[in-house]
Amino acid sequence: MLEEAQVQTLARLARIALEPAELPSLAAQLSRILSLVEAMEAVDTTGVEPLAHPLEPVPRRRPDAVTETDQRAEFGAVAPAMAEGYYLVPRVIE
């Protein structure tokens, strides 16, 4: 079961604004999904190594060479806010 407060915490971690009115149904849905997921607990996985990739082929490494050119103009064309080559965000306070 997920409490509404937990959902609120998750939303904060995931940077998603939630209206208070959304919380009860969202908590209920997520709890229902969790009950499906918790069926996993029935399986004994003691000593089983987790598998992160279905196949573990020999990983490739790239030679250290500069292959990219300046595409600031192309990438900037899809940016919501840019000035003098910088992406703009509301002032960051450190």
Is residue 82 classed as helix, strand or coil in its secondary structure? strand
16-75 residues in contact with other proteins (CB under 8 A) are 16-18, 26, 29-30, 32-43, 45, 48-68, 70-72, 74-75
Is the Cβ of residue 15 or residue 20 nearer to other proteins in the bound state?
A: 15
Interface with other proteins, residue 84, by CB under 8 A: yes
Q: How far is the CB of 16 from other proteins (least distance, A)?
A: 5
Paired strand residues for 22 = none
- Rg over CA atoms, the chain: 23
Give, as one character, the DSSP assignment of residue 94.
-
